[in-house]
Structure 1
Amino acid sequence: MLQNSAQPLSASLPRGANQGVLSAAASGLDRFILGHGGDLDRVFGHAGIDPEQLRHPTLSLALPNYCQVLEEAARQTGCDNFGLRYGQQFTPQALGLLGYVGLCSGTLEEALVNFAEAFPLHQHDTLIALQDQGECYRFDYQVRHAAIGQCRQDAELTLGMALNLVRHALGPHWAPREVHFEHARPADWQAHREAFQAPVHFGQACNSLLIPKRDLAGVAMPGADPMLLMLVKDTLRQLGEAPAQPDLLGRAQAAVRDHLHLGEPNLERIACALQIGEATLQRRLREHGLSFSQLVEQVRQALALRHLREQSLSISELAPLLGYSETSAFSRAFRRWFGVSPRQWRSV
């Protein structure tokens, strides 16, 4: 199993220091949003992404912002299956370096292995694995970031990208044996079955494609190029290497999350938990474009959306878990974040 657990930094990392996701993963996103009637300023503004970054495929986007822009695009365009549709038209070439890792491989089987091995360099805080299941390979994908509460659109997009890599060699009508998604079954779930031409199961442990091994046997990649493959892998490796500094942002997010049940988190308590000075914590957060209060809000928002989506807690039960002494305080904060009350959000 291949797994990556490095923590992300800000969306404005310098070249050669990708710790989020390379912006090639959003190739053509602006055009796709416009094509579905979306407002680019609203979508990108809400997600905190500078559209200019999308013009440079080797720049890094923070993974929470990337997942959020896809969710926001789905909401504002009214296209509930936005990630699925975006993934259907996403060619391996458009994925940049990661796509060419697959395209330049000698065989389709090697392409899947190389794609899975290189993926952690393209995107951090992600489990990616090609599991041997006997008659099939299971291609697993799962975002593992403490501050990300919603990632349905990203999951559907990513499995669509993997599907298109296989179809590049086997043709547009190839279908996996099964498709699994973590999220609950959406209203228009039949569109997923049509897109993958396979049984699709929701509410599963991981996002997965089940790929029969017999479909891969002896299949050569049309554009195999061992020299270019070596160069692309080397470039990805350089971009994916993290700078020599502690993963403070991820640790700070985890510390805030662990302390929320005690009430309103304060700078002194979190700095003590991280065993650093308060001034140092503030300075390091500023390097990522965050204040301490913004960090707390970021964690609260992600947890609130996750629990509201799961519907396992009432609003009054959720408020103290997020560090609010009164339900009304949580409701006011939620309305400020998203423009609706928690009950209204849950009822949509």
Structure 2
Amino acid sequence: MSERTTSASWAMGIVKALEMDGLDCRVLFKQLGLDYAALDDPDARFPQDSMTRLWQRAVELSGNPAIGLNMGKVVRPAQFHVTGYALMSSQTLAEGFKRLVRYQRIIAESADLSFRLLDEGYALILTVHGDHLPPTRQSAEASLACALALCGWLTGRTLHPRKVLVQGAEPLNLEPYKQAFHAPLVFNAPYDALIFERADMEAPLPTANEAMALLHDRFAGEYLARFSESRVTHKARQVLCRLLPQGEPKRDAVAQTLHLSQRTLQRRLQEEGTSFQTLLDDTRRELAEQYLAQPTMTLLEIAYLLGFADPSNFFRAFRRWFDTTPGEYRARLTGTPLPVSDARTPEYTAQTP
């Protein structure tokens, strides 16, 4: 399995958080065999286990087990690499957090994020993995504090979550958690999460800019591709792109092309935080966005290029991805009015550019 890594921009956020407690991070980096100068290189990556050791050493030296919460006080979109700017130009926080989930691995590979609507509100759910070393609670708590502070930074007002779930045990001193989150706290939770009010997540962002959001999506996608070149996920995605116009690719065909057994392909994808079905769905979604930006391609052609034998299956999948129809999405993308028929039926796609 490839070594999990953390971006230099996120590592810089950790450094600023530790310096708030008076720690000398130049010395710490030297002790841990890390290149402090690499923090200024936006493309540099640090091993995940080194960040784990950094948190552990910081807690020992500072005597502050809640030191991870400091990251909420130093957060800026730049700490989220290109993902931060994509989030900033999103229409709403809900749309932004969906982008954050999509590009999370650019920031750090140690975390799996999901964002979903529950009965009690929107939930940003975080699961932090270690590499060879188990993860620290400080790493997860830093991510939660950062996500909440970013909401405030983007909206220009203080957001109070409905609830904050923390996997760790209840600490002796609750005060830093109360100050960081201003919300009911649940410790020993099954996962780390922020639960938000729907209205807060769906309100328009003052920084929204759809053209910039699409541009940042492209930058983030290109970065992910460069960053992932050696990974099975990237190679499998390339194979899917080639096979899709011939119909929905099967796992055995992709495995065979990569000279892997189906079981090995499945295991390697799992190690890289995905599955064959998720990868297929993500690849189709990303290609659908690219194809819809080409005004000469009909919706029927796009459906077949994405491997859908029946256009109505493409429509259903597209609605699941974007909560709108392909025709409505294209109209919004190109700024052209939607025809009266509204592009809601597969029959319409056969003749509509």
TM-score, length of structure 2 as denominator length? 0.59
Aligned to 2:268: none
How far apart are 1:105 and its partner, in Å?
0.6
Structure 1 pair 127–32 and aligned structure 2 pair: CA distance change class (3 A): closer
Residues 118-156 of structure 1, C-alpha deviation per residue, up to 9 Å, x if partnerless? 213332243210122124111111122342323211111
Task: Kindly report the root-mean-square deviation, in angstroms, between the aligned alpha carbons of the 2 structures.
Answer: 2.4
2:158 to 169, 173, 178: 173
1:223 to 207, 223, 226: 207
CA distance in 2, matches of 1:86, 1:125: 17
Structure 1 pair 142–24 and aligned structure 2 pair: CA distance change class (3 A): same
How far apart are 1:204 and its partner, in Å?
1.2
SS of the residue corresponding to residue 139 of structure 2 reads: helix
- Are 2:134 and 1:144 aligned? no
1:134 to 95, 119, 140: 119
* 1:177-326 matches, cutoff 5 A: 177-217=162-202, 219-241=203-225, 242-244=228-230
Identity of paired residues, percent?
21
CA distance in 2, matches of 1:115, 1:100: 10
Structure 1 pair 132–89 and aligned structure 2 pair: CA distance change class (3 A): same
CA distance in 2, matches of 1:120, 1:96: 11
Unpaired segments of 5 or more residues in structure 2? 234-353
Residues 17-52 of structure 1, C-alpha deviation per residue, up to 9 Å, x if partnerless? xx5221111235445434422232442234442111
Point out the more displaced range, 27-36 or 157-166: 27-36
How many residue pairs get aligned? The number is 231
Contact 2:104 2:112 in 1 (8 A): no
How far apart are 1:84 and its partner, in Å?
0.3
1:99 to 79, 84, 96: 84
Larger Rg: 2
Residues 151-207 of structure 1, C-alpha deviation per residue, up to 9 Å, x if partnerless? 211111111121022223444432101111111122222210221100111111111
Contact 1:178 1:198 in 2 (8 A): yes
Contact 2:9 2:39 in 1 (8 A): yes
- Comparing both chains, which one has the higher relative contact order based on Cα–Cα distances under 8 Å and sequence gaps of 6 or more? 1
SS of the residue corresponding to residue 96 of structure 1 reads: helix
CA distance in 1, matches of 2:143, 2:16: 18
Contact 1:127 1:142 in 2 (8 A): yes
1:57 to 34, 38, 42: 42
Aligned to 2:5: 20
CA distance in 1, matches of 2:152, 2:48: 27
Instruction: Look up the equivalent residue of 1:197 and give its one-letter code.
Output: H
Instruction: Look up the equivalent residue of 2:105 and give its one-letter code.
Output: P
Unpaired segments of 5 or more residues in structure 1? 1-6, 10-18, 248-348
Structure 1 pair 67–237 and aligned structure 2 pair: CA distance change class (3 A): farther
- Are 2:73 and 1:88 aligned? yes
1:70 to 55, 58, 62: 55
How far apart are 1:99 and its partner, in Å?
1.3
Instruction: Look up the equivalent residue of 1:239 and give its one-letter code.
Output: Y
Instruction: Look up the equivalent residue of 1:210 and give its one-letter code.
Output: I
Structure 1 pair 243–105 and aligned structure 2 pair: CA distance change class (3 A): same
Structure 1 pair 235–68 and aligned structure 2 pair: CA distance change class (3 A): farther
